[in-house]
């Protein structure tokens, strides 16, 4: 792996101290069980970390459990939900061991549907590299962890995906001081050191993308994305790359806490370099559980379409706006939830205790400056991709 830098384009700062800083940072990162011991040379350490953690799917060897997840959760009385260890707006650890965020709210909504109690969740923080093993080993019932639906993950590692909850895409963040601007492209990463977390689609996308545009990069992978952000702050990495949502979230937080000024950190290219449809993942061959999770996602979308919210749910249950709403709120004679092994009011509880799609989005992502309008996460009636099949 090359650490050579491009000169003469005025894009990057000199980097004489970088090797030492990277060694220090990767020693911390290497505390993870699967990480190799750090070597003394910065370049070697970097190379080893990247090479041993890039193969996200191949490392999973545990035979998936077969079926019965719903019954297990009902017997246990709690939902084990895998989330990210720390992802701004999606899964933020709280002092009491719970998590808040967009993904965390889906865990809570699912617990409300299955157990009637949004607080009946055991959150399990997972790194990107370990998440599929944790799922396959049966340590969690479902994974809501900024997880991109890909063909290899769907076919090679014993898992299945539910409907997309957030349409994301990979971007890159650099410093305006180093010459990056809104017009920067993938080609502008030539000669740069990029950081991200291991076990992600991010690694493959940037490696393939850079190759396609003829850019030579030095990719450094660490265990968690917050570590990658630290390297970026220190200047050990010229650039960080991951799902755009995380870049926007980190930049927004840094502006809010006074660390940087608006315009200091540039996110590019404007059109992401990949599609990252994020959503739930569960073990394959458990159709009953898949249905429960999938229809949770769908019904929160349909509730948004119909204006059924946590604030007006009681009124809506008393007077459903139409027959479809009557069915999924559990008051129509032809309700379907009991046939799925749930209480008739399962999804009404999810809406009551957590909210519909728009509420989950607004509660967690509006504070970070995200807007559905004009994005792929807008309603399908407003030009977006958020769409659900009919509840009938
Ligand atoms: N969507 C990608 C990336 C997932 C990912 O790890 N994203 C980062 C940025 S949101 C993350 O969760 N970081 C939190 C952490 O590393 O703990 C994937 O499924 O591989």
Are 332 and 247 part of one and the same domain? Answer: no
User: What residue's CA is closest to ligand 1, atom 9?
Assistant: 246
Domain boundary among 213, 231, 265: 265
Instruction: Find the helix or strand (DSSP H, E) in which 174 lies.
Output: strand 170-175
pLDDT for 6 beyond 70 = no
* Average model confidence (pLDDT) across the chain: 86
pLDDT for 8 beyond 60 = no
Are 85 and 162 part of one and the same domain? Answer: yes
User: What residue's CA is closest to ligand 1, atom 13?
Assistant: 225
Residue 348, domain member (yes or no):
yes
What residues does ligand 1 touch, defined as CB less than 6 Å away?
84-87, 128, 146-148, 197, 200-202, 224-225, 242-243, 246, 276, 278
How far is the C-alpha of 301 from the C-alpha of 347, rounded, in Å? 11
Q: Taking a C-beta distance cutoff of 8 angstroms, is the pair 295, 163 a contact?
A: no
Which atom, in ligand 1's list, is nearest to the CA of 153? Answer: 19
- Please tell me the predicted confidence (pLDDT) of residue 332: 87
pLDDT digits (tens, 9 = 90+) for 71-130: 999 999 999 999 999 999 999 999 999 999 999 999 999 999 999 999 999 999 999 999
How far is the C-alpha of 333 from the C-alpha of 225, rounded, in Å? 48
- Please tell me the predicted confidence (pLDDT) of residue 175: 98
- Please tell me the predicted confidence (pLDDT) of residue 44: 27
pLDDT more than 70, % of the chain: 83
Are 302 and 367 part of one and the same domain? Answer: yes
pLDDT for 139 beyond 70 = yes
Q: What is the CATH number of the domain that holds 248?
A: 3.40.190
- 1-10, 135-144, 330-339, 350-359, range with the lowest pLDDT: 1-10
- Please tell me the predicted confidence (pLDDT) of residue 48: 29
Average pLDDT over residues 155-184: 97
Given pLDDT bands bounded at 50, 70 and 90, which one contains residue 3?
very low
Residue 13, domain member (yes or no):
no
Average pLDDT over residues 11-17: 30
What is the distance in A from the centroid of ligand 1 to the CA of 128? Answer: 6
Which atom, in ligand 1's list, is nearest to the CA of 224? Answer: 16
Residue 107, domain member (yes or no):
yes
> End-to-end CA distance of the chain, in Å?
55
What is the distance in A from the centroid of ligand 1 to the CA of 171? Answer: 13
Are 152 and 85 part of one and the same domain? Answer: yes
pTM of the model as a whole: 0.85
Which atom, in ligand 1's list, is nearest to the CA of 227? Answer: 16
Q: What is the CATH number of the domain that holds 107?
A: 3.40.190.10
3-state helix, strand, coil in the chain (%, to 5): 40, 15, 45
**Six-digit token string for 334:** 């032809």
Structural domain range at position 148: 69-166+278-382
Q: Taking a C-beta distance cutoff of 8 angstroms, is the pair 91, 101 a contact?
A: yes
What is the distance in A from the centroid of ligand 1 to the CA of 249? Answer: 12
pLDDT digits (tens, 9 = 90+) for 321-360: 999 999 999 998 899 999 999 999 999 999 999 999 999 9
Are 295 and 367 part of one and the same domain? Answer: yes
Residue 79, domain member (yes or no):
yes
Nearest to 65 by CA among 279, 280, 286: 286
Domain boundary among 238, 265, 292: 265
What is the distance in A from the centroid of ligand 1 to the CA of 390? Answer: 31
Q: Taking a C-beta distance cutoff of 8 angstroms, is the pair 274, 169 a contact?
A: yes
DSSP-based three-state secondary structure for 220 = strand
Given pLDDT bands bounded at 50, 70 and 90, which one contains residue 10?
very low
Nearest to 371 by CA among 248, 263, 229, 272: 248
- Please tell me the predicted confidence (pLDDT) of residue 51: 32
User: What residue's CA is closest to ligand 1, atom 16?
Assistant: 224
Given pLDDT bands bounded at 50, 70 and 90, which one contains residue 57?
very low
Are 224 and 82 part of one and the same domain? Answer: no
Given pLDDT bands bounded at 50, 70 and 90, which one contains residue 67?
low
Are 161 and 294 part of one and the same domain? Answer: yes
How far is the C-alpha of 168 from the C-alpha of 237, rounded, in Å? 23
What is the distance in A from the centroid of ligand 1 to the CA of 308? Answer: 31
Domain boundary among 242, 265, 288: 265
Which atom, in ligand 1's list, is nearest to the CA of 86? Answer: 17
User: What residue's CA is closest to ligand 1, atom 7?
Assistant: 146
Average pLDDT over residues 28-32: 26
What is the distance in A from the centroid of ligand 1 to the CA of 314? Answer: 37
User: What residue's CA is closest to ligand 1, atom 8?
Assistant: 225
Total number of domains constituting the chain? 2
């Amino acid at each position: 792996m090359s650490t050579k830098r491009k000169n003469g384009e005025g894009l990057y700062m000199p980097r004489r101290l970088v090797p030492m800083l990277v060694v220090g940072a990767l020693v911390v990162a290497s505390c993870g069980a699967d990480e190799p011991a750090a070597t003394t040379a910065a370049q070697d350490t970097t190379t080893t970390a990247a090479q041993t953690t890039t193969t996200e799917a191949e490392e999973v060897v545990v035979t998936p459990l077969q079926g019965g997840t719903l019954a297990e959760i009902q017997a246990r009385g709690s939902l084990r939900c895998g989330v990210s260890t720390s992802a701004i707006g999606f899964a933020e650890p709280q002092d009491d061991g719970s998590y808040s965020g967009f993904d965390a709210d889906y865990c809570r909504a699912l617990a409300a549907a299955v157990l009637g109690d949004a607080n009946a969740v055991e959150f399990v923080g997972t790194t990107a590299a370990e998440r599929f093993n944790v799922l396959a080993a049966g340590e969690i019932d479902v994974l809501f962890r900024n997880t991109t639906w890909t063909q290899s993950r769907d076919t090679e590692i014993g898992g299945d995906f539910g409907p997309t909850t957030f349409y994301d895409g990979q971007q890159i963040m650099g410093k305006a001081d180093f010459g990056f601007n809104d017009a920067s492209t993938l080609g502008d990463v030539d000669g740069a050191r990029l950081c991200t977390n291991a076990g992600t689609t991010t690694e493959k996308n940037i490696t393939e993308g850079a190759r396609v545009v003829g850019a030579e990069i030095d990719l450094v992978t660490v265990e968690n994305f917050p570590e990658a952000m630290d390297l970026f702050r220190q200047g050990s990495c010229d650039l960080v790359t991951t799902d755009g949502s995380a870049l926007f979230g980190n930049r927004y937080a840094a502006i809010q806490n006074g660390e940087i000024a608006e315009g200091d950190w540039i996110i590019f290219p404007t059109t992401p370099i990949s599609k990252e449809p994020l959503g739930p993942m569960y073990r394959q061959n458990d159709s009953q559980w898949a249905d429960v999770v999938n229809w949770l996602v769908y019904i929160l979308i349909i509730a948004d379409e119909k204006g059924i919210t946590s604030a007006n749910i009681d009124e809506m249950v008393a007077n459903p706006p139409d027959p479809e709403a009557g069915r999924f709120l559990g008051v129509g004679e032809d309700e379907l939830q009991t046939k799925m092994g749930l209480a008739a009011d399962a999804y009404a509880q999810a809406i009551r205790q957590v909210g519909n799609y728009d509420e989950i989005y607004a509660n967690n992502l509006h504070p970070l400056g995200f807007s559905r309008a004009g994005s792929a996460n807008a309603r399908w009636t407003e030009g977006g991709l958020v769409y659900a099949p009919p509840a009938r």
